[in-house]
Structure 1
Amino acid sequence: MKRDLAMAFSRVTEGAALAGYKWLGRGDKNAADGAAVEVMRTLLNQTEITGEIVIGEGEIDDAPMLYIGEQVGAGGDAVDIAVDPIEGTRMTAMGQNNALAVLAAGEKGAFLNAPDMYMEKLVVGPQAKGQIDLNLPLEDNLVNIAAALGKPLENLVVTTLAKPRHDDIIAQMQAMGIRVYAVPDGDVAASILTCMPDSEVDVMYCIGGAPEGVVSAAAIRALGGDMQGRLLPRFLVKGGSDDNYRMGQQEMDRCRDMGIEANQVLLLEQMAKSDNVIFAGTGITKGDLLDGITRNGNIATTETLLIRGKCRTIRRIKSIHYLDRKDPAILPHIL
């Protein structure tokens, strides 16, 4: 991929973040997501790529979506794209921390093709690379990670999502003496923090969305960390109601149609098949990874994390936007 595409993709996530910010604290997560989707689609279609959305966001919670197989771009390099226009729609709607707009791009065939379904994820930084195995109990993984990092379990820091499905796991980790940071949403940011040199997070474990998993995998591959995932049908995560069982069977059928199997461990190299990837993420609300948007009248400030895997370059970009000078096609969504 051309080097200048990195800046082009940062423009896309900045636009999506600005659109989401307009709905900050207004209690309507679908409206926020819908605005971010429309701006992301518009800006991708202005980018000099021949792009395909290979994993998108929306089906799990009936949100607006950039759908799998959607063609985007104005012509140029052939790229595959994994997106989450707002990672943390509920946090945006409620004015909570750690909401992002994120995108990962790679050459054709770079990313796992999977339905929008649940994924179990285990992520570590470079120092613990090769020490994780989702076929083992989580307790064994944590012991192995701590040994690789040369620290006692009581000094290990694990981030997970504060969801009822994780209550038993959180209690188990705390009983081991591990420090657990449970955040409402936002496992992409939590995953990346395992690889950032100024972060105290050692491990990210959760059951969350597959789109976030693939976006995270791109960033983790670019940063030299390690990750494993496992696609889980809905009835294993949300319970065995008739609707959940029916939807879970549909997810498993779609997985087979795409040439993958649910309930099988996926290695990092299967989710992000090359380190020639670009990750862009822009903060919507203030978080542990990025500052949120600030706005004074028609002037907004954003912070974007831009990672180029090929050269392992990490940039933090502070941008000032005069919103009334933006492309008329996105003005209704950001101003």
Structure 2
Amino acid sequence: MAQPSSTLDRVLVLEMVRVTEAAAIAASKLIGRGDEKAADAAAVEAMRLAFNNLAIDGTIVIGEGEPDEAPMLYVGEKVGNAAGSGPRIDIALDPLEGTTITAKAGPNALSVLAISEEGGLLNAPDVYMDKLAVGPGYPDGVIDLNRSVRDNVEAVAAAKGVEPADIIVCVLDRPRHEKLIGQLRAIGCGIMLIPDGDIAGVIATTNPETAIDIYMGSGGAPEGVLACAALRCVGGQFKGRLLFRNDDEKSRARKWGIADLDKIYDLKELAKGDCIFAATGVTDGSLLSGVKRLPGGKLTTQSVVMRASTGTVRWVKGEHRVEPKRF
């Protein structure tokens, strides 16, 4: 059967891996050094350089800031060296998801990006999002943000054919989740608390080896869109609702075209059409191994790249030769 037409050339699948590899390698030099800003800046500059070596007409729709916050890869920034002639793509990215993790040499730091055909990714403002996710294999509508925590856990348990106490829920370890954690404890289900990295947490619901059934809780909205791009490729369900702490955040959302501030978004509303998701491990984690530096000026990386139109998932181990320092 012919695949659906797409402006995303399959060559871009491996090109996206090269982009996340470059950012991960740059950030890895700062692992455990205690400097979050330096690690993030290194990843940003490496990712920008890698994008600008590609024959694309790219626009960042989810980035790390706005134009006055350079050198971040900001929303609206154009990347690629083929403006007006290359494929027009939208880009969501997090050059270093887990800046604190990297600074402290903790687990699950990643370099992450997603690309889509123009208009395929929700231009999510940099606010919090209430998130609820499960992996593939469940009936449509098994999760719903309008239901209680207990109702969602019981629905997933029933669909899986187990007791609610057998369900494992992944939650970011934050003070704001104290009530959620209490509700889950009352149900008796298992809770996997993670210090950071909720993109990896959402994706973990798709991997049976993690034993994670559900992702719950609030985290960054941009990270929610990135996670949805991955779920579009491998299957699963996601519900998201933007959370606003003040009028300034509401104004920012309206600026980016969000009209219904109370809307609950489905997976295909956050990431639609054909899309490619790529991630490279910076530190070891549940999804990917981190960058390893070897004797003889070599290093290794592990990446994953996925494409929605084909459902293809590729695990890529890279071996790289590091140029010796010149004095």
Structure 2 length-normalised TM: 0.91
Deviation string for 1:218-262 (max 9, x for gaps)?
Answer: 0011112110111111x2xxxxxxxxxxxx312211212333233
CA 256–193 in structure 1, closer or farther in 2 if over 3 Å, else same: same
Structure 2: give runs of 5+ residues left out of the alignment.
1-7
Which SS does the other structure have where 2:209 is aligned? Answer: coil
- Tell me if structure 2 keeps the 8 A contact 1:33–1:63: no
Give the Cα separation in 1 of the matches to 2:22 and 2:279: 11
Deviates more, 1:4-13 or 1:131-140: 131-140
- Percentage of pairs with the same residue: 46
CA-CA distance at 1:289 after TM superposition: 0.7
Q: Which runs of 5+ in 1 are unaligned?
A: 236-247, 326-330
- Give 1:73's match in structure 2, choosing from 62, 75, 80: 80
Is 1:181 aligned to 2:192, yes or no? yes
1:63 to 1:284, Cα distance in 2 relative to 1, 3 A? farther
- The aligned counterpart of 1:13 is 20
Q: Which residue of 1 aligns with 2:322?
A: 323
CA deviations 1:37-96 (Å, max 9, x no partner) are: 11111101111211100011257xx89621111111122111101001111110000000
Give the counterpart letter for 1:219 in structure 2.
A
CA RMSD of aligned residues (A): 1.8
Could you say what secondary structure the match of 2:212 adopts? coil
Cα distance in structure 1, aligned partners of 2:224 and 2:270: 8
In the other structure, the counterpart of 1:290 is: 288
CA contact (8 A) 1:161 1:183 kept: yes
Q: 2:251 maps to what in 1?
A: 253
- The answer on whether the counterparts of 1:278 and 1:307 sit within 8 Å (CA) in structure 2 is yes
Residues of 2 paired with 1:319 and 1:214: CA distance? Answer: 27
Shift of 1:308: 1.2
Amino acid at match of 1:229: G
SS for the counterpart of 2:229 is helix
Checking the alignment, whether the CA contact within 8 Å between 1:159 and 1:181 is kept in structure 2 is yes
1:18 alignment partner, SS class: helix
Query: Within 1, Cα distance between the matches of 2:127 and 2:220?
Result: 6
Q: Which residue of 2 aligns with 1:138?
A: 149
8 Å CA contact 1:146–1:153 kept in 2: the answer is: yes
Q: Which residue of 2 aligns with 1:244?
A: none
Give the whole-Å Cα distance in 2 for the aligned partners of 1:66 and 1:229: 24
**Structure 1 equivalent of residue 239 of structure 2:** 228
Letter in 2 for 1:308: R
Q: SS at 2:207's partner residue?
A: coil
Aligned residue for 2:137, secondary structure, equals helix
1:87 is aligned to 2:97: yes
1:166 is aligned to 177
Aligned to 1:146, what secondary structure does the other structure show?
helix
1:194 positional shift: 0.9
1:151 aligns with 2:162: yes
Query: Residue 240 of structure 1 aligns with which residue?
Result: none
**Residue type at the aligned position of 2:141:** G
SS at match of 1:126: coil
State how many pairs are aligned. Answer: 311
The reply on whether 1:105 has 2:131 as its aligned counterpart is: no
CA offset digits 1:150-199 (Å, max 9, x no partner):
21111111111001111221121022011000000011111111112433
**2:149–2:183 CA contact under 8 A, matched in 1:** no
CA distance in 2 between counterparts of 1:114 and 1:291 reads 29
Counterpart-to-counterpart distance in 2, 1:313 and 1:34: 31
Residue pair 2:171, 2:215 contacting (<8 A) in 1 also: yes
2:307 aligns to what? 308
Q: Distance in 2 between matches of 1:266 and 1:131?
A: 15
Q: Does 1:117 align with 2:127?
A: yes
Q: 1:54 to 1:306 in 2, by over 3 A?
A: same
The answer on 1:192 being equivalent to 2:191 is no
Which residue is equivalent to 1:242?
Answer: none
